[in-house]
Amino acid sequence: MKYHIALLKGDGIGPEITESAAAVLNAVGERYAHEFCFTPYLIGGCAIDAAGEPLPEETVKGCLASDSVLLGAVGGPKWDDLPGSRRPEKALLGIRSALGLYTNLRPAKLFPALRGASPLREEIVSSGFDILIVRELTGGIYFGERGYRTGKYGEEAFDTEAYSVTEIERIGHAAFRAAMQRNKRLVSVDKANVLETSRLWRSIMHRLSEAYPEVQYSDLFVDNAAMQLVRNPKQFDVIVTSNMFGDILSDEASQITGSIGMLASASLGDSKCGMYEPIHGSAPDIAGKNLANPIAMVLSAAMMLRYSFGMTAEPDCIEQAVDRVLERGIRTADLIGNTEIRPVSCTEMTAQILSEITSS
Ligand code: NAD
């Protein structure tokens, strides 16, 4: 089968890591008889330089016409002095909204070989953890009514949170479906002891849980969830939560894995077309030096196969190849810490992953 993928390389290390992901997808395509066709489009700083705007119309049209989108990263010091509305990062919100991507999936997995990189104590991480955070991406307090007004103590600022039944239902279904593809455990995180939106959230999640009897469902208040993530992260499989709580908890979860160059993400909407990108930025300090860790981008491509193309063996094959490369002690510079290990380059790490895919 043939799949059309829009390739948004972006800035900084974006071109290096997207090249790695494309090579890995081609190797998987060869092994499992799929054809992946890549069409590059401009986004971010390189689009500002070439077309005068961070998100050209042609990029939006190209993404809408594709089966899925792979994004490297955008931004860099060259464009830092531009006003907010013309900065490279503005393209991210634009493309998410053009594609209607309201679900953000952020896995936080501790690779057994990288246990030492976690800031948590050995006894907490000794058996590893593998969490998927499902964050609502286009509603809640980040998009609510806001402004300044005169209040009881004079001038004040306000932000409001609103969630509709439809918004909660669609993110809820996305989370239950994700749980069905994993270990069938889902925790919904809210603040239903205080917030009205959370009480609606919780009641809808309970109703939806009846449609997924195989999923073991529970609720947690957000303050407790933040605590449980560092106390015993292994207890979690899938977590679903609102935009702001997800923003905070997913950063906390990524930090306890200890390695920003390893973490993938997916943004999904109602169609099969999603956008897949590493959680890190464009790393301008190492751009063009062949030092970047391509694994977060490669694992984002694996998520694309799983969530947009409905594959299982193919993403498993990529993830297992990454596991084996790490088990063999192969590390890019960001993963070596204070050890004596000789780091490999971005292209060498990619070659090692490719060799595991073709030889396994
Ligand atoms: P960053 O994630 O780019 O880099 C933080 C640190 O992590 C740097 O030292 C970098 O070298 C290192 N790092 C990041 N990814 C790595 C990888 N794959 N391999 C090895 N090391 C890696 O964050 P930053 O420095 O705050 O931001 C740089 C630029 O990226 C800014 O312009 C920012 O706005 C942009 N940004 C873009 C995105 C995105 O495109 N989604 C996300 C975050 C930041």
What's the CATH code of the domain at 281?
Answer: 3.40.718.10
SS3 content of the chain, % helix, strand, coil (to 5): 50, 20, 30
Identify whether residues 157 and 76 lie together within a single domain.
Answer: no
What pLDDT is recorded for position 166? 97
Identify whether residues 189 and 251 lie together within a single domain.
Answer: yes
Q: How many CB atoms lie within 10 A of CB 78?
A: 15
Q: Which domain holds residue 251?
A: 119-256
Identify whether residues 125 and 210 lie together within a single domain.
Answer: yes
Identify whether residues 155 and 186 lie together within a single domain.
Answer: yes
What pLDDT is recorded for position 351? 98
Residue of the CA atom closest to atom 23 of ligand 1: 281
Does a structural domain hold residue 107?
no
For ligand 1, pick from 9, 43, 96, 282 the residue to mutate: most ligand atoms within 8 Å of CB: 282
Identify whether residues 92 and 1 lie together within a single domain.
Answer: yes
Global pTM reads: 0.91
What pLDDT is recorded for position 258? 81
**Å from CA of 73 to ligand 1 middle:** 8
**Å from CA of 261 to ligand 1 middle:** 9
Identify whether residues 302 and 203 lie together within a single domain.
Answer: no
What pLDDT is recorded for position 273? 94
**Å from CA of 8 to ligand 1 middle:** 16
Identify whether residues 344 and 236 lie together within a single domain.
Answer: no
What pLDDT is recorded for position 77? 97
What pLDDT is recorded for position 113? 87
Does a structural domain hold residue 96?
yes
Q: Are 299 and 279 in contact (CB under 8 A)?
A: no
Identify whether residues 241 and 349 lie together within a single domain.
Answer: no
Domain boundary among 227, 256, 285: 256
Does a structural domain hold residue 252?
yes
Residue of the CA atom closest to atom 16 of ligand 1: 261
Query: What are the pocket residues of ligand 1 if the criterion is a CB atom closer than 6 Å to any ligand atom?
Result: 13, 73-76, 89, 92, 260-261, 277, 280-286, 292-293, 296, 334
Domain boundary among 207, 222, 256: 256
Does a structural domain hold residue 286?
yes
Domain boundary among 256, 291, 325: 256
Does a structural domain hold residue 50?
yes
**Å from CA of 72 to ligand 1 middle:** 11
Q: Are 304 and 266 in contact (CB under 8 A)?
A: yes
Residue of the CA atom closest to atom 7 of ligand 1: 283
Does a structural domain hold residue 359?
yes
Identify whether residues 130 and 9 lie together within a single domain.
Answer: no
Identify whether residues 183 and 96 lie together within a single domain.
Answer: no
Residue of the CA atom closest to atom 43 of ligand 1: 281
DSSP E strand boundaries for the chain: 2-10, 35-40, 68-73, 103-109, 130-136, 146-151, 154-159, 185-190, 216-221, 238-241, 264-268, 275-278
Does a structural domain hold residue 134?
yes
**Å from CA of 207 to ligand 1 middle:** 40
For ligand 1, pick from 260, 279, 285, 344 the residue to mutate: most ligand atoms within 8 Å of CB: 260
Identify whether residues 8 and 98 lie together within a single domain.
Answer: yes
Identify whether residues 204 and 126 lie together within a single domain.
Answer: yes
Residues annotated as catalytic are 142, 191, 223, 247, 251
Does a structural domain hold residue 109?
no
What pLDDT is recorded for position 1? 86
Residue of the CA atom closest to atom 4 of ligand 1: 283
What pLDDT is recorded for position 322? 96
Task: Output the CA angle 329-333-335, nearest 5 degrees.
Answer: 55
What is the total count of domains within the chain?
2
Give per-residue pLDDT as tens, 37-56. Answer: 999 999 999 999 999 999 99
Which regions of the chain are under pLDDT 50? none
For ligand 1, pick from 280, 332, 345 the residue to mutate: most ligand atoms within 8 Å of CB: 280
Taking alpha carbons only, the member of 169, 214, 160, 164 closest to residue 188 is: 169
